[in-house]
A and B are shown apart, each in its own frame.
Chain A
Amino acid sequence: MSDFETVASSENQAARRGPSGEPGAPNQVGVQKPRSLAGDAWRDLRRNPIFWISLVLVTVVTLMAIVPGLFTANDPQDCVLSRQNAGPSGGAIFGYDFQGCDTYARAVYGSRASLLVGALSALFTGVIALVVGMLAGYFGGWVDAVLSRVIDIVLGIPLLLAAIVLLKRVSTAGPNARITAVIFVLAVLGWTTAARVVRSSVITAKEQDYVAAARMLGAGNGRIMWRHILPNSLAPAIVVLTIALGTFIAAEATLSFLGIGLKAPTISWGQDIDTGRIHMRESSTPLIVPSAFLALTVLAFIMLGDAIRDAFDPKLR
């Protein structure tokens, strides 16, 4: 028997428990907590102020999108021209815009459309990227050649130009159809970077011995892709998608700003920034407030993605 190894590994466990061992931990004594990559990343994240700041911001914005009533009592659609560009009063802490609507309430309610577009676009982007990247990376050969050229082609299409062309077709549609269209356009045009990341990490993972080992034990292609390669190539994709979520929100604002994204009655930051810009000389707060909301939200998601990436990168530890 391997007494030497046994001793060594129990010493290891003791050493491992040492620094991280919180005395009040609910774990029973002697049972060592498994240290996985995710566990290590979490320990890293806990100590990172950037992570906490971005997490708080993301939580606040998400809450705002789900229950805007928590943040303002005013109705963003309640616009009275007599209050045009009026200063702060009542709940309207940032005053009123050109149409006499509560600037703050509009910014709060605008988060819903922005987050919805950002999150769903990122989700669909992720699905497309995972499927394409997995197939290209795993099967290689002509599958890879074809899919990689498709990625190159889509990557070559300018986002705004294509979005303008595609969204013109739905210019008369209702608010829900418009949101769907914007999400569709962003996902269809925005999956390429993530797909390349997935493809490269799949190629790395498929060369690993554990894939050969799984095949040796009789696992089929589907099982190997789903169970062995996907979990090992997911982390970089998650990071790319978190960052992409921020840029999708900004892209939605850009499209709405240009008048081809979301339209009234849907409230969105992009539209408000556009109207605020027109009337900037009369009052600047209706421009500054939605811009600040947008900037903070995008920043929060990008910082979150960054922090997660750093935490999952063992070389930076």
Chain B
Amino acid sequence: MTNSTVQPTPASATPEGGHLLEVRDLYVEFRTSEGVAKVINGVSYHLDAGETLAVLGESGSGKSVTAQAIMGILDSPPAHVRSGQILYQGRDLLTQPEEQRRQVRGKEIAMIFQDALSALNPVFPVGWQISETLRTREGMSRADARRRAIELMDLVKIPAAERRIGDYPHQFSGGMRQRVMIAMALALNPKVLIADEPTTALDVTVQAQIMDLLADLRRDLGMAMILITHDLGVVAGVADRIAVMYAGRIVEHADVRSLYRAPAHPYTKGLLESIPRLDVRGQELATIRGLPPNLMRIPSGCPFHPRCPYVQQVCVDVVPHDLVLGDGRTSACHFAQEVRDDSAR
């Protein structure tokens, strides 16, 4: 099933075929007192050096849980990885002992969180927090770590970094706080940066600044980035490829241009149609009818079928496989071809 995912585009290809990071057929469930919630149901995606993958989906689609599984910071209990592999440079992180995984965190793969205020420790100055990692992981001296922290704060364009290094998180504005968070994540020069809804907690003008910053940093530092978001508008300018998630599965996987031009899954199509557009005024905004599925009772067949305008009997009965379309895209829909041709029109 994994070979059916997209071919790497020439620009992002890694030599010798192996991917920098690859999630293979991951299953995660939350075992709660009310029952088992199947949060991730066979997710596979990969990331090559230097590219940006956007993981798109609404709340509860499992996009953040996948990221937490990659970082190894799932709360378990209740979370439980049932099966699957997470390969980083060919080694499976899930089977590694905790001590080895700890070495990967921060240094190889780092993550930035949605709400920077709660992701920063309120009782320490931001400079201390950035340099803590440097001191404990790199064995830097206090003075060196401080110097490096100022460099990092400059790198993420915090004005007057030297003066603000002693300030506490609550003394920063939302955008500046997110920059501090990014500086912390970059401290150990990770090769992969996972940004979990980095702009959701910010207002629109600041959102654009943070996205630009992330794009610049990714380019300048040569990192690979996984951008988790539910905002299609944020993705377009930054990502190389998009994986759309629904009910713990990747329903569509394509490069940005072809996905925006002609979505091949009814869910993606619905998402794109529900973006407010300036050139279409005075009409009611299109929506996707119905609600996201209850993860304890995922619908039979295609999980999207109760909300799908293309629904047929086969959708209720058969779980669709990833259908490989041209130009290296996949869509988990029985009618992928029709949907794409429909949207292209």
A-side residues, CB < 8 A to B, are 1-2, 4-6, 8-9, 12, 31, 34-37, 141, 208-210, 212-220, 223, 227-228, 231-232
Closest partner residue, chain A, to B68 (CB atom): A212
Tell me the minimal C-beta distance from B334 to chain A in angstroms: 39
Contacts of A213 in B (CB 8 A): 111, 113, 119-120, 181, 184
B159 at the interface (CB under 8 A from A): yes
Contact A2 B206 (CB under 8 A): yes
Contact B123 A218 (CB under 8 A): no
Contact A212 B105 (CB under 8 A): no
Q: How far is the CA of A99 from the CA of B34 in the complex (A)?
A: 72
B294 at the interface (CB under 8 A from A): no
Number of contacting residues on B, CB 8 A? 45
B308 at the interface (CB under 8 A from A): no
B173 at the interface (CB under 8 A from A): yes
Given A1-B157, A216-B73, A217-B187, answer yes or no on A209-B173 (Cβ-Cβ < 8 Å): no
Contact B166 A34 (CB under 8 A): yes
Tell me the minimal C-beta distance from B216 to chain A in angstroms: 12
8 pairs across A/B with beta carbons < 8 Å?
A: A1-B157, A5-B173, A5-B175, A35-B170, A217-B105, A217-B110, A217-B188, A231-B121
B136 at the interface (CB under 8 A from A): yes
Closest partner residue, chain B, to A216 (CB atom): B111
Contact A31 B163 (CB under 8 A): yes
Given A9-B176, A209-B113, A231-B121, 10 extra CB contacts under 8 A: A4-B205, A34-B171, A210-B120, A213-B119, A213-B184, A216-B105, A216-B106, A216-B110, A223-B136, A232-B122
Closest partner residue, chain B, to A38 (CB atom): B123
Contacts of B102 in A (CB 8 A): 218, 220
Q: How far is the CA of A31 from the CA of B104 in the complex (A)?
A: 39
Closest partner residue, chain B, to A140 (CB atom): B77
Contacts of A212 in B (CB 8 A): 73, 113, 119
Tell me the minimal C-beta distance from A199 to chain B in angstroms: 18
Given A9-B173, A34-B167, answer yes or no on A217-B184 (Cβ-Cβ < 8 Å): yes
B-side residues, CB < 8 A to A, are 71, 73, 77, 102-107, 110-111, 113, 115, 118-125, 132-133, 136-137, 157, 159, 163, 166-168, 170-173, 175-176, 181, 184-185, 187-188, 205-206, 209
Tell me the minimal C-beta distance from B118 to chain A in angstroms: 4
Contact A5 B176 (CB under 8 A): yes
Most buried by A among B115, B123, B157, B166: B123
Given A36-B123, A231-B124, answer yes or no on A216-B71 (Cβ-Cβ < 8 Å): yes
Closest partner residue, chain A, to B72 (CB atom): A215
Q: How far is the CA of A4 from the CA of B206 in the complex (A)?
A: 9
Closest partner residue, chain A, to B111 (CB atom): A216
Contacts of A227 in B (CB 8 A): 132
Q: How far is the CA of A27 from the CA of B332 in the complex (A)?
A: 64
Contact A217 B173 (CB under 8 A): no
Closest partner residue, chain A, to B187 (CB atom): A217
Contact A218 B105 (CB under 8 A): yes
Contact B110 A34 (CB under 8 A): no
Contacts of B173 in A (CB 8 A): 5, 8-9, 12
Q: Which of B111, B137, B157 contacts A2 (CB 8 A)?
A: B157
Tell me the minimal C-beta distance from B314 to chain A in angstroms: 42
Tell me the minimal C-beta distance from B162 to chain A in angstroms: 11
Given A2-B206, A34-B171, answer yes or no on A210-B73 (Cβ-Cβ < 8 Å): no
Closest partner residue, chain A, to B194 (CB atom): A216
Q: How far is the CA of A31 from the CA of B175 in the complex (A)?
A: 22
Most buried by A among B121, B132, B133: B121
Tell me the minimal C-beta distance from A240 to chain B in angstroms: 19
Tell me the minimal C-beta distance from A11 to chain B in angstroms: 11
Closest partner residue, chain A, to B114 (CB atom): A209
Most buried by B among A5, A31, A210, A212: A210
Contacts of A34 in B (CB 8 A): 125, 166-168, 171
Q: How far is the CA of A12 from the CA of B173 in the complex (A)?
A: 10
Contacts of A8 in B (CB 8 A): 173
Contact B175 A2 (CB under 8 A): yes
Contacts of A2 in B (CB 8 A): 157, 159, 175-176, 206, 209
